Amino acid sequence: MPEGHTLHRLAAHFEKAFGGGTVRATSPQGRFAEGAARIDGRVLTETEAHGKHLFLGFDSGEWLRVHLGLYGAWTFGDADGERHLGAPRARAADRLALVRDEDGLVVPPAPVGAVRARLVNASGWADLRGPSACEVVTEEEKQAVQDRLGPDPLRDDADPGRAWRTVSRSRTSIAALLMRQDVIAGIGNIYRAESLFRAGIDPATPGRDLTADRWAALWDDLARLLRDGVRDGYIITTRPEDRPDPDALPVPRPDSLYVCYRTGDPCRVCSSPIAAADLAGRTLYWCPGCQRS
């Protein structure tokens, strides 16, 4: 499932590529036909991300809310070719000759697969496949969704104290609390495990056993990692001194994480074998040497 930095990148991309212009909305698959009709021909006026939710606002006062879930993905197409967000731009030989209709909007190619929603403007298109949620909501309905979410470290309105009030009273492990979107929004399996490693916190530690200072440091580090993810387009949590080649840029994918997907491999810091266990249906990774209780 995409983590919070991806949704903020998507919001920024939609603002740049679709903001301020008329958008044609359709549902090639048919499951979103009614919602598409409500925003078809409207102007995209603002974009927003909160945790793992993407909100696209239109001049009608309504919002398109998308939650990608485990299988959802956006694909974008323009004069530089078809690609997923963050993929390299196409080679010159692969670039598309765009065709426009009488309104100046791009005529995209025939949809491939089950496209839930297709958005088209004067410069390209965006296809959405497999989301867990895709709906048009009012301002009040959007706010109701956000009221159920915890603070998002990437948002200017984030209040770490709100999350701390829940964490500091809970007997639940910090590893489980970090995955609760009503506690802190946008954190997924990778950021959860990697941030706890970087903080030297045993994942089994009850929330109420953390000190306020350790929570503040954990929050600040999560915010820093998420901002890096927005900038880089993928998750890098290792510090330069813990990589085989500290000066390698971009960071090779095998060297980008401390514990995730490295079960049994030696810890990059203490050489202990990385451990893994199931926690609420997700695999939790940690280092028994660096993250002692």
Say if pTM beats, i.e. exceeds, 0.85.
yes
Residues noted as catalytic: 2-3, 52, 282
Which residue type is seen at 136? V
Please give the pLDDT value at position 97: 63
Question: Kind and range of the H or E element at 277?
Answer: strand 275-279
Please give the pLDDT value at position 91: 46
β-sheet bridge partners, residue 84: 75
Grouped pLDDT means (10 residues each) for the chain, 293 residues: 93 94 96 98 98 98 96 84 54 58 82 95 93 98 98 97 97 97 97 98 98 97 97 95 94 96 98 95 96 89
> First and final CA of the chain: distance in angstroms?
29
